[in-house]
Amino acid sequence: MVAKQESERLMPAAEQDISDELELKAKKYLRGDGANLEVLRDKKLKGQLTVREKLYGQSAKAAAKAEKWLLPSEEGYLEAEGLEKTWHIKQESIIREVDVISSRKPFDMILPELGPYTLEYTLSGRYMLVGGRKGHLAMMDMISMDLIKEFQVRETVRDVVFLQNEQFFAVAQKKYPYIYNRHGTEIHCLKEHGPPLKLQFLNKHFLLVSVNKFGHLHYQDVSTGEMIANYRTGLGRTAVMKANPFNAVIGLGHSGGKVTMWKPTSSKPLVTMLCHRGPVTAIAFHGGGHLMATAGMDCKIKLWDIRKFEVLHTYSRHAQTLDFSQKGLLAMANGSKLQIWRDSYGNQDYGPYMSHAMVKGYQVGKIAFRPYEDVLGIGHSMGISSILIPGSGEPNFDTWVANPYETTKQRREKEVHALLDKLQPETIMLDPSKIGTVKPPRRKEKPTKKETESEMEAAIEAAKSITFKKKTKGRSKPSKRTRKKQDEVFKAKRPFLEQQMEERHAKKQRTTEAELPKSLQRFARQRA
Tell which residue, 260, 131, 246, 148, has the closest CA to residue 199: 131
Q: What CA–CA distance (Å, rounded) separates 398 from 127? A: 17
* Strand partners of residue 285: 292
Query: Between the CA of residue 441 and those of 429, 438, 444, 445, 466, what are the distances in Å?
Result: 19, 9, 9, 12, 37
Query: What is the tally of helices (H) and strands (E) in the chain?
Result: 8, 28
What value, to the nearest 5°, has the Cα angle with vertex 494 and ends 490 and 497? 125
Residues in the chain, pLDDT under 50: 1-10, 527-528
The per-residue pLDDT for range 152-182, each reduced to its tens digit, is 999 999 999 999 999 999 999 999 999 999 9
What value, to the nearest 5°, has the Cα angle with vertex 394 and ends 391 and 395? 85
Q: What CA–CA distance (Å, rounded) separates 451 from 448? A: 5
Residues 485, 479 contacting (CB under 8 angstroms): no
Tell which residue, 327, 321, 286, 271, has the closest CA to residue 301: 321
522 DSSP assignment? H
Q: What CA–CA distance (Å, rounded) separates 172 from 335? A: 24
Q: What CA–CA distance (Å, rounded) separates 294 from 18? A: 42
3-class DSSP state for residue 418?
Answer: helix
Contacts for 250 with CB less than 8 Å, ≥ 6 apart: 200, 209, 217, 241, 242, 243, 244, 261, 262, 263
Residues 282, 321 contacting (CB under 8 angstroms): yes
Q: Is the dihedral of CA 423, 414, 219, 433 positive or negative?
A: positive
3-class DSSP state for residue 25?
Answer: helix
Q: What CA–CA distance (Å, rounded) separates 206 from 415? A: 11
pLDDT value, residue 225: 92
Bond before 116 cis per omega within 30 degrees: yes
What's the pTM? 0.74
pLDDT value, residue 52: 85
3-class DSSP state for residue 175?
Answer: coil
Query: Between the CA of residue 509 and those of 400, 446, 506, 513, what are the distances in Å?
Result: 63, 19, 5, 6
Question: Which region, left, alpha or beta, applies to residue 199 given φ > 0 means left and ψ of -120 to 50 means alpha?
Answer: beta
165-170, Cβ contacts within 8 angstroms, sequence gap of 24 or more? 165/122, 165/411, 165/414, 165/415, 166/122, 166/126, 166/127, 166/139, 167/411, 168/222, 169/120, 169/129, 169/139, 170/199, 170/201, 170/208
DSSP letters for 259-321: EEEE-TT-SS-SEEEE--SS-EEEEEE-TTSSEEEEEETTS-EEEEETTTTEEEEEE----SE
The H or E element that residue 395 is part of is: none
Tell which residue, 261, 236, 246, 250, has the closest CA to residue 208: 250
Residues 363, 116 contacting (CB under 8 angstroms): yes
pLDDT value, residue 527: 45
The H or E element that residue 173 is part of is: strand 168-173
Q: What CA–CA distance (Å, rounded) separates 484 from 211? A: 69
Contacts for 171 with CB less than 8 Å, ≥ 6 apart: 131, 137, 153, 157, 159, 160, 177, 178, 179, 180, 199
The per-residue pLDDT for range 245-301, each reduced to its tens digit, is 999 999 999 999 999 999 999 999 999 999 999 999 999 999 988 999 999 999 999
3-class DSSP state for residue 351?
Answer: strand
Q: What CA–CA distance (Å, rounded) separates 509 from 115? A: 68
Interhelix angle 449-464/478-515, nearest 10 degrees: 160
pLDDT value, residue 498: 85
- Residue 511: CB atoms within 10 Å: 9
Residues 171, 178 contacting (CB under 8 angstroms): yes
Query: Between the CA of residue 339 and those of 267, 316, 381, what are the distances in Å?
Result: 37, 13, 18
Radius of gyration of the chain (CA): 32
